[in-house]
Structure 1
């Protein structure tokens, strides 16, 4: 592919979001919308990427600090063409194709960028990205021939009835060669009601000088802009639907797809089954043949083959289930590993713990890992049996084949094959409860008599 540079416009104030966070840093699938766009473009290895910022530019600089991205400042904000022109200095000396896109349209795919690049040749100076929405609303129109040649770009308010009948709308995304784009941007005027310099005039000016402009079409969802919380929710819904379809096409069974929510980096193997109302936060990997049952929440977790989770389980970052391991209802794990075939069936907290293969963790077991200042480790050996309602006070080691009796509070290491029972001696007082009940009933009756 010809060398290309990406210019992403993100200088708007985003006032309709009503947020302290920059608009393009609001997440979709757990990842800032700007990063969706950056990652898509990275698939084509751009020579340069420039983000044009204005309002709250410090947030954008911090967000992309570890990426190969240059942030250019637009001050004051005088329209989209003016914003694109602010990238000229950052791209000084670059020769190749320059694409201009929008940070609040995060779903543009690398394949679409490739099509835009391929549309340019010696006679075609500009390629614009169009779409055909169900409702054309107030979008600008692209008047084009059957071969894609654009004869006119017109804003909705300036369009005739015949032009408004055209269904091909302008997304604003365009691409041109570096030898042309800066000249075309600099020729854009601001003779309009807003006194701003508008990006579509790049194509209009190219047509006026006799150059060919061509339109490339894409799906409306790919170029949907996000300007409000409602539109952010719509984008999230569209993205989630795409991820569900992608998962099922790859061999995952979703019992109620519309109730399952993915993160941008969720990885599911073949023949994984996901029951209703499951949420995958960032950093989850699930191996083949695993089962995630209803109402479970996973984040930063790794599940081995044939592992089972839930229902109503919570796996926090660092949770690892080895092959065939199982956690059941109301089990929470954090920075803990459950060995091959090990199980914690219900009502258990495992934090900062390592559990050996085929160990059994009884209901109500808690690893007491935090002393108010530091976290401590609990290690449970292979085939160990931890009785119900046990508290393992870390740091502590439970040996292989050891048994911890139900109701024990264990604060010292348990050797291999050892039984540890930590209970107070039971006190038995025959008849005490009967005498207690008689006394209390008489007191209660006496109180009623005084009223």
Structure 2
């Protein structure tokens, strides 16, 4: 049967006190609305419509890669009104639609699948998610008759008996599309707030004799984010969930409470991660990797048997058996080969570094292609910028670059070459040559005394 999803993402979120739309605040490195979208995909829901309002263009920009459609809610007049704004998306469709909140990022794919399965199995016109909580104060109560839901009663409207009910409405729903469209036409805003509530659809369906069911789930999955405090709580829950998943898959986290791993990160077994590491985006880490404390790795590939110490690696690839750091900076579009050494205070920018090459300390390599088995002395700089344009330097295999060398791009250093320490290279160096580009040393006898600079 056809299924689709609506994600409510139109509110600004006044309690979160931010100029950024609430659904764009990140949890474990990803915007909340993108967490929900990605969870829909994992639950095999392909047709997704996001209802946007406040900060609509920014929300569209941040979700553009997700292959979704949008509906616009120009005024925020309640959850029912938000769904009414997506009528054009729903018209002509037959099947089931799920309605989810863009600020509730903790829902699991298997829960979504179970929601739809429960809806189909019981031939419901609507199925809602609920939770059993010790203190349901402030939440709408789910009034049942066995498996069937009779109504949802807001806390302020509950009778004394209804206040004793501890099953709360999670505000996540599954509807027969045609039944939902018919009910939306009958929604009223005749209430103190002058808003249209999606919960009223449940009452409309029940009055028409339609079947409404509920699936009770863990309260943790239903948590919505309305404040910075709740944002932090969601972060802690999801971080623990992510870290536990990796440990169950064979990754050793020395201190999970101080390890920060994004939801889309992949890590191989027998990798060891020390405290203070931040691993973000679509990073893929291989097996038997050791991440010593305090590195940041974003959207990068780390191959097997790599060691990284206190370094930053962004949009790059590190080959097998390579060591990085401490205090190295691997900038975007860099590829480091196998069994290489990138040492302390080394910066690599948009460069390829060959297998077995050593860049041990205090060196900058930018816009360069470096061969295999090269050795860079301390203080080498690839001078890649002339003030207007970036230029490329090429260094062949088995080259030795002496300490304090400047390679002024564009320049080519061929295979099996040596650069003498302290040289500034502006011309190509041919295969097998030694390049020396420095002034001859002069020692001027008696100069210090003559200038009166002797310390007494």
Shorter chain as denominator, the TM-score bin is 0.7 to 0.9
Aligned to 1:235: 234
Task: Flag the 1:204–1:311 CA change in 2: closer, same or farther, 3 A.
Answer: farther
Distance in 2 (alpha carbons) for counterparts of 1:176 and 1:23: 26
- Map 1:220-369 → 2, pairs under 5 A: 220-257=219-256, 258=258, 259-281=276-298, 283-293=299-309, 295-369=310-384
- 2:110 maps to 1:111: yes
TM-score by structure 2 length? Answer: 0.87
Task: Flag the 1:57–1:270 CA change in 2: closer, same or farther, 3 A.
Answer: same
Aligned to 1:140: 140
Distance in 1 (alpha carbons) for counterparts of 2:133 and 2:313: 36
Q: Does the 8 Å CA contact 1:255/1:273 hold for their aligned counterparts? A: no
Distance in 2 (alpha carbons) for counterparts of 1:419 and 1:353: 20
Cα deviation, residue 115, structure 1: 0.8
Distance in 2 (alpha carbons) for counterparts of 1:134 and 1:404: 74
Distance in 2 (alpha carbons) for counterparts of 1:72 and 1:240: 31
- Map 1:46-125 → 2, pairs under 5 A: 46=45, 48-65=47-64, 67-121=66-120, 123-125=123-125
Aligned to 1:130: 130
Distance in 2 (alpha carbons) for counterparts of 1:347 and 1:162: 73
Distance in 2 (alpha carbons) for counterparts of 1:352 and 1:397: 12
- Using the TM superposition, name which of 41-50 and 313-322 deviates more: 41-50
- 2:425 maps to 1:430: no
Cα deviation, residue 334, structure 1: 1.5
Distance in 2 (alpha carbons) for counterparts of 1:149 and 1:3: 24
Q: Structure 1 unaligned segments of length 5 or more: list them.
A: 442-451
1:123-151 per-position Cα deviation (integer Å, ceiling 9, x unaligned): 42221122356765533333457x75434
Q: Structure 2 unaligned segments of length 5 or more: list them.
A: 259-275
Q: Does the 8 Å CA contact 1:256/1:275 hold for their aligned counterparts? A: no
Report the RMSD for the aligned CA atoms in angstroms. 2.6
Q: Does the 8 Å CA contact 2:329/2:348 hold for their aligned counterparts? A: yes
Q: How many residues align?
A: 437
Q: Does the 8 Å CA contact 1:290/1:308 hold for their aligned counterparts? A: yes
1:335-375 per-position Cα deviation (integer Å, ceiling 9, x unaligned): 11221111212212121112211211222211111112211
Task: Flag the 1:72–1:385 CA change in 2: closer, same or farther, 3 A.
Answer: same
Distance in 1 (alpha carbons) for counterparts of 2:75 and 2:124: 32
TM-score by structure 1 length? Answer: 0.88
